[in-house]
Amino acid sequence: MLRPTETATRESKRLDGIWDFVLDPEGRGRREQWWQAALEAPVQMPVPASYNDILVDTGLKDHVGDVWYQTTIRVPRGWTGERIVLRFDSATHAAVAWVDGHQVAEHAGGYTPFETDVTDLVVPGSEHRLTVVVNNELNWQTIPPGIVTDTARGRSQRYFHDFFNYAGLHRSVWLRSTPQTRIEDVTITTDRRGTTGLVGYAVLVEGSAAGSVRVVIEDEVGTEVASVTGASGTVEIENVHLWQPGQGYLYQARVEVLDGEGSVIDVYRQPFGVRTVEVRGQEFLINGEPFYFKGFGMHEDQAVRGKGRDDALMVHEFALLDWIGANSFRTSHYPYADEVYDFADRQGIVVIDEVAAVGLNTGIDGGMFGMGPKHPTFSPQTINDVTQEVHKQAIRELVARDKNHPSVVLWSIANEPESDTDASRRYFEPLFELTRELDPSRPVGFVNVMLAPHGKCQVSELADVLMLNRYYGWYVHTDDLESAEEAWGEELAAWAGENKPIIITEYGADTVTGLHTTVPVPYSEEYQAAYLEMNHRVFDSVPAVIGEHVWNFADFATNTRSIIRVDGNKKGVFTRDRRPKAAAHLLRKRWSTKNS
Ligand code: BDP
């Protein structure tokens, strides 16, 4: 799916701003067809933002079910004759949209975009009512999963992941125009022969006018360096400037559809970087060079806005990544906003891109401590074939959205799922196949949980890279870093016996900023530092370890119905307002010198 953009043939308009908003705990809106008229007694809600923390209202914060958003849109009058598309960058977790009285879109999956052709329903120059119902319920057939129960307080959402279930229109909503005959998709893959870049491309054109395709490659300053005709093929770039970690050099493919006379019918600009990614033995190679991942598992999370997209925060976070010497991060535990990947491309930051499959493990329930009644993870009544299809669709949408980002080097198809049972193996095998089929150019993995250690995990052998989350010295061997070091060293040595590279995708300790102790005590800044140092000694003794992502970049909000979190998860190296804890200085020192 192409991005809203501005070119000689395309325009786009963000519909962000203050929208009308109504909470619908009883689910009346769908029965009463609230899209047919102006919402009654609305409050005001910013888009993009999670709605949960915007107003002072526990009903809103803990709401389970539908919410209604409505705004008036004006279609630019210059769009007469154009194809007009309405696009949502995301709606968490499921949505239906109407333009005036017509249903135009329906989508499930809270972190990937969807769009719909509204050309026949709107009049350029006129105003239309846009209504969206967004539902935040998670059940066994959603990704991520959850359970909705009835309690004395009303409906309550339980979920198995350790971050607050923020919901709403987290990202931009757009109108965009294209010509009727248009470029519908562009896929770029890159390779290299000596100093020549090999750019494979495929362009999908839709619409009635016959057209030929021309692709012109421009370098970063806009100079044409190569061109080719045809809807698919390979174009060569002499003396190619590679996209490198730390140096995000980007070319642009100017993709054009031409009519019989050679006039441009449609043009789209696709940025890309030329780089290769390969797993060889226990190495992860970018452009043939071993790469060591230094960075974090992150979250889209901040005060007030929740998971709402925020350019200011994003740019600041990348500045902090640069300051601390990080070269990569994982989009734990869901696809982030498009703008984040654009920025990573530009900054040369490497991304492990994760689908929103988190909490497919009833052995863990909102953190490492199980709470509430237990269910089997995989069963006809819980995570089943239907869930697997939903999971497949989430992978399809992720790959379709992010395939052209040079920053994305590895797909993560789940975080900490149950992986030590036959059922888990049966569930995951087709998902690995699908991901490889969709994108043969990138390695695929999943993130292993400590409940499925080496020798027990049945899914790891399907992965190209081993990604391990381990909390030795925190959830186990708490306050005993010596025993933790020994046990961790043993487990890691066993994993290193597999012929695969290992990335430690999570290690971390909750830390209350400003809590200092003379000797390291859990929750103190000294303990977080000592814990990280212990982990680093273990990693440095195992050559198969090719990456370390601390959990987490910053403190973040979690389920408030849990006694194991005080005001959220405090494993951040930065506080929730992005101030460094003592550990940040330690990491900065290590990462500024560590290359392998
Ligand atoms: C892991 C999860 C992560 C949690 C973390 C923790 O992958 O989402 O936040 O542990 O407990 O289980 O802090």
**500-514 average pLDDT score:** 98
Report how far ligand 1's centroid is from the alpha carbon of 376 (Å): 20
Beta-carbon contacts of residue 552 (< 8 Å; ≥ 6 apart) = 296, 297, 298, 299, 332, 508, 569, 571, 572, 573
Please list the residue range(s) of the chain that carry CATH number 2.60.120.260: 11-178
Quote the crossing angle between the two packed helices 582-593 and 525-540, to the nearest 10°.
20
Shortest-distance atom of ligand 1 to CA 161 = 8
Q: Do 424 and 377 contact (CB within 8 A), yes or no?
A: yes
Annotated active-site residue 548? The verdict is no
Nearest CA, atom 6, ligand 1? 367
Q: What is the number of H-type helices and E-type strands within the chain?
A: 9, 30
pLDDT in tens, 551-575: 999 999 999 877 889 999 999 999 9
Shortest-distance atom of ligand 1 to CA 510 = 13
User: Is domain 182-275 in CATH 2.60.40.10, yes or no?
Assistant: yes
pTM of the model: 0.97
Task: Provide the percentage of residues in the chain whose pLDDT is more than 90.
Answer: 93
Nearest CA, atom 11, ligand 1? 367
pLDDT in tens, 73-114: 999 999 999 999 999 999 999 999 999 999 999 999 999 999
Task: Provide the percentage of residues in the chain whose pLDDT is more than 70.
Answer: 98
> H-helix or E-strand containing 237?
strand 232-237
Confidence of residue 371 (pLDDT cuts 50, 70, 90): low
Nearest CA, atom 12, ligand 1? 367
Select from 163, 416, 511 the residue to mutate for testing ligand 1; criterion: most ligand atoms less than 8 Å from CB. Answer: 416
Report how far ligand 1's centroid is from the alpha carbon of 242 (Å): 35
**What pLDDT is attached to residue 365?**
62
**What pLDDT is attached to residue 367?**
44
Residue 481: exposed, middle, or buried by beta-carbon count in 10 A (0-12, 13-18, 19+)?
Answer: buried
Report how far ligand 1's centroid is from the alpha carbon of 364 (Å): 9
Report how far ligand 1's centroid is from the alpha carbon of 128 (Å): 44
pLDDT in tens, 277-292: 999 999 999 999 999 9
Q: Which residues of 218-246 are buried (b: 16+ CB within 10 A; e: fewer)?
A: bbeeeeebbebeebeeebebeebbbbbbe
pLDDT in tens, 129-149: 999 999 999 999 999 999 999
Nearest CA, atom 8, ligand 1? 162
Shortest-distance atom of ligand 1 to CA 558 = 9
**What pLDDT is attached to residue 60?**
92
Confidence of residue 373 (pLDDT cuts 50, 70, 90): low
Shortest-distance atom of ligand 1 to CA 471 = 10
pLDDT at 524 over 60: yes
Please list the residue range(s) of the chain that carry CATH number 2.60.40.10: 182-275
Nearest CA, atom 10, ligand 1? 367
Report the C-alpha gap between 572 and 312 in whole angstroms: 19
**Superfamily of structural domain 278-593:** Glycosidases (3.20.20.80)
Annotated active-site residue 506? The verdict is yes
| Cross-strand bridge partners of residue 133 | 68, 96
Class of domain 11-178: mainly beta
Shortest-distance atom of ligand 1 to CA 508 = 13
Task: Name the residue among 9, 15, 17 with its Cα closest to residue 78.
Answer: 9
Nearest CA, atom 1, ligand 1? 367
pLDDT in tens, 453-480: 999 999 999 999 999 999 999 999 999 9
**527-552 average pLDDT score:** 98
Report how far ligand 1's centroid is from the alpha carbon of 162 (Å): 6
pLDDT at 368 over 70: no
107 vs 155, more confident: 107
**What pLDDT is attached to residue 375?**
84
Please list the residue range(s) of the chain that carry CATH number 3.20.20.80: 278-593
Q: Which of 300, 506, 525, 548 is catalytic?
A: 506
Question: DSSP for 52-92?
Answer: TTTSS-HHHHT--SEEEEEEEEE--GGGTTSEEEEEES--B
pLDDT in tens, 383-407: 999 999 999 999 999 999 999 999 9
Q: Which of 416, 491, 525, 526 is catalytic?
A: 416
Select from 332, 474, 506 the residue to mutate for testing ligand 1; criterion: most ligand atoms less than 8 Å from CB. Answer: 506
**What pLDDT is attached to residue 366?**
44
Report how far ligand 1's centroid is from the alpha carbon of 531 (Å): 16
Task: Spell out which residues line ligand 1, taking CB within 6 angstroms.
Answer: 162, 333, 364, 367-368, 415-416, 469, 506, 551, 569, 571
Report how far ligand 1's centroid is from the alpha carbon of 371 (Å): 15
Arithmetic mean of pLDDT over the chain: 96
Q: Which two tokens stand for residue 478?
A: 């708490």
pLDDT at 369 over 60: no
